[in-house]
């Protein structure tokens, strides 16, 4: 008889507990929604502010601002062609260098390396991502650039540079700095991001999938090619896009080693600049409200557009492959 009142009291207490839980869930839901909306608002605010700031340059030079290769602050003639060319070229070259190496690292750490070696090597890869970009730039300028000037670039110029078609890409004086050196530094910088993502997603593959493939007589490479890569394709592409985003927007490291010349060179050993490096060099000398400052803000808007196009293209290609 004494247990009935207690049970009744416990039963009547449940609605109050559920009510407080519902309130907490509602607050949490609105907080999460606000956080998501805040990201969109910040992104939109940045895009709008860059476009408004660069409107003076867009109105002055029109569509020719994107294709023009002139950058003359004295005559107030500005064009984004050289910096767009350098940005895209160095980022693509960096990915061509970094992605195969990152895949090899992830493949080794997940399939080939002994257990006692996986954690130290993985930690070393992650530590590379924590190195400040200015350190990469100083290291590239004082160590990599002299090595590129002698003996790397002279050897390539005397060998590959003599070939009939591709030789034009590897000719010119071996200064050490230039587009190729900037791409190499960028490749080293984005390598830990891509390798870490690949390693983590490779580890998410259910062991039973790989064991089944091994049971059918597949080799380690065949398991990687036929099981692991198809299973993790979306995440691998995401990791590569993460590295590409870092390469497109890198500033100080590129500024140290790219040569900072406002001209388009047919040789990968020639100097150039990128959008980020040009903004970093010229922003401090720009007066508020000047056409030069507007041109720099317009460059920032163009960099935003390039990043969006690259991301949208990758998502479209990935979605097409997944449907296929």
DSSP 286: P
Report the pLDDT averaged over residues 118-130.
87
- Helix and strand totals (H; E) in the chain: 15, 2
Q: Is 237 a residue whose pLDDT tops 80?
A: yes
Q: Which of 183, 202, 208 is nearest to 270 (CA)?
A: 183
**Per mean pLDDT, which range of 16-25, 102-111, 199-208, 235-244 is the poorest?**
16-25
Predicted confidence (pLDDT) per residue in 139-170, tens digit = 999 999 999 998 999 999 999 988 888 888 99
- 7, with CB counted inside 10 A (0-12, 13-18, 19+), is exposed
Contact 53, 304 (CB under 8 A): no
Residue 110 has a CB neighbour count (10 Å cut-off) of 20
Q: How confident is the model at residue 235 (pLDDT cuts 50, 70, 90)?
A: confident
Joined tokens for residue 199? 């390693």
Q: Is 5 a residue whose pLDDT tops 60?
A: no
CATH code: domain 64-323 is 1.10.3720.10
Using CA atoms, how far residue 197 sits from 4, 125, 148, 241, 242, in Å, is 58, 11, 30, 11, 9
Q: How confident is the model at residue 322 (pLDDT cuts 50, 70, 90)?
A: low
Task: Report how far residue 54's alpha carbon sits from residue 294's, in angstroms, rounded to the nearest whole number.
Answer: 4
Percentage with pLDDT > 70 across the chain: 91
Torsion angle of the four alpha carbons 118, 123, 124, 126, in this order, in degrees rounded to the nearest 10: 130
Average pLDDT of every residue of the chain: 87
Give one DSSP letter per residue of 10-25, joined into a string.
Answer: HHHHHHHHHHHHHHHH
Report the pLDDT averaged over residues 307-319.
78
Predicted confidence (pLDDT) per residue in 43-101, tens digit = 899 999 999 999 999 999 988 899 899 998 888 899 999 999 999 999 999 999 999 99
Q: Which of 93, 84, 320, 100 is nearest to 184 (CA)?
A: 93
Place of tokens 């691998």: 236
At residue 16, the pLDDT reads: 47
Q: Which of 204, 198, 228 is nearest to 106 (CA)?
A: 198
Using CA atoms, how far residue 69 sits from 76, 194, 272, in Å, is 13, 33, 11
Sign of the C-alpha dihedral computed for residues 65, 69, 70 and 71 taken in this order: positive
């Amino acid at each position: 008889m004494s247990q009935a009142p207690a049970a009744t009291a416990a039963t009547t207490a449940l609605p109050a507990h559920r009510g407080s839980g519902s309130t907490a869930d509602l607050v949490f839901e609105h907080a999460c929604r606000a956080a998501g909306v805040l990201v969109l608002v910040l992104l939109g605010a940045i895009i709008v502010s860059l476009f408004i700031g660069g409107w003076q340059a867009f109105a002055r030079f029109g569509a020719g601002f994107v294709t023009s290769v002139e950058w003359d602050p004295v005559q107030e003639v500005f064009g984004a062609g050289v910096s767009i060319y350098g940005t895209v070229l160095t980022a693509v070259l960096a990915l061509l260098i970094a992605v195969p190496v990152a895949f090899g690292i992830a493949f080794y750490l997940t399939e080939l390396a002994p257990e006692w070696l996986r954690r130290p090597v993985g930690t070393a890869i992650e530590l590379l991502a924590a190195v400040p970009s200015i350190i990469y730039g100083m290291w590239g300028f004082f160590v990599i650039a002299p090595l590129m000037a002698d003996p790397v670039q002279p050897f390539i110029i005397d060998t590959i540079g003599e070939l009939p078609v591709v030789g034009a890409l590897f000719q010119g004086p071996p200064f050490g700095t230039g587009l190729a050196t900037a791409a190499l530094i960028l490749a080293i910088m984005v390598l830990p991001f891509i390798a870490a993502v690949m390693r983590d997603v490779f580890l998410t593959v259910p062991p039973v999938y790989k064991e089944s493939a091994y049971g059918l007589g597949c080799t380690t490479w065949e398991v990687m090619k036929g099981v692991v890569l198809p299973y993790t394709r979306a995440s691998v592409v995401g990791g590569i896009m993460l590295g590409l985003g870092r390469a497109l927007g890198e500033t100080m490291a590129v500024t140290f080693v790219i040569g900072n010349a406002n001209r388009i060179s047919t040789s990968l050993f020639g100097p150039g600049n990128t959008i980020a490096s040009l903004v970093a060099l010229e922003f401090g000398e720009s007066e508020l409200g000047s056409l030069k400052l507007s041109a720099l803000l317009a460059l920032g808007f163009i960099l935003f557009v390039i990043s969006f196009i690259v991301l949208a293209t990758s998502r479209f290609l990935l979605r097409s492959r997944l449907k296929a």
